[in-house]
Amino acid sequence: MATGKCIIVSAPSGAGKTTVVRHLLGRGLGLDFSISATSRPRRAHERDGYDYFFITPEEFRARIAKDAFVEWEEVYPGRFYGTLRSEIERIWAEGRHPIFDVDVVGGVRLKEIFGNGALSIFVSPPTIEALEQRLLLRGTETPETLRVRVDKAAHELTYTVKYDHVLINDDMHRACEEAYETVRAFLAQ
């Protein structure tokens, strides 16, 4: 596989990861969003080839057998997520740098694969309580799902030591600017 630089952004749900990634994509850094593949069903608002590459579990397994993925994970039985080699090669061939919006386990795995060619950023809430408040304000959580997300976030925060840069998102504008400066400096090396 051709090589180039890439940016990995991970965070617990509600920490601001997607906002940071969108900000970075709009700042002229030569980044291109790496679209993941999944075997989960497409949601009504999602588009194939834009939000995800939606493929069947059987097709996902066939591509695993053909070594088509840089990394992949079976999150639930028959529910796969992964990064296609062809997607990374497409971005590098265009002279751009892939940016990944992935969970913390996928982020650590990608960093292991790409090594010094990757900058891994962990977007962290200032506190677990602040994260819980953000999730409550979304209005999408039941008390049970909120507890599950907060407990998972507490575990995910233990992964910060495996990331190159921890971005404390206590102010979204400041966090986005810090992310921009960090990525800009990495790409300039």
In tens, the pLDDT along 15-28 reads 999 999 999 999 99
Q: What is the pLDDT of residue 1?
A: 53
**How far apart are alpha carbons 92 and 22 in whole angstroms?**
19
Q: What is the pLDDT of residue 146?
A: 86
Q: Where are the domains of the chain?
A: 6-188
Per-residue pLDDT tens for 162-186?
Answer: 999 999 999 999 999 999 999 999 9
> What pTM, to 2 d.p., does this model score?
0.89
Per-residue pLDDT tens for 47-92?
Answer: 999 999 999 999 999 999 999 999 998 877 889 999 999 999 999 9
Q: What is the pLDDT of residue 96?
A: 96
Sign of CA dihedral 123, 20, 152, 138: positive
The confidence band for 122, taking pLDDT boundaries of 50, 70 and 90, is very high
Above pLDDT 90, what percent of the chain? 75
**How far apart are alpha carbons 84 and 21 in whole angstroms?**
19
Per-residue pLDDT tens for 89-111?
Answer: 999 999 999 999 988 988 999 99
Mean pLDDT for 120-125 is: 97
Per-residue pLDDT tens for 135-151?
Answer: 888 877 888 888 888 99
Q: Select the CATH number that applies to the domain covering 6-188 from these four: 3.40.50.200, 3.50.50.60, 3.40.30.10, 3.40.50.300.
A: 3.40.50.300
Q: Which of 159, 81, 82, 168 is nearest to 124 (CA)?
A: 168
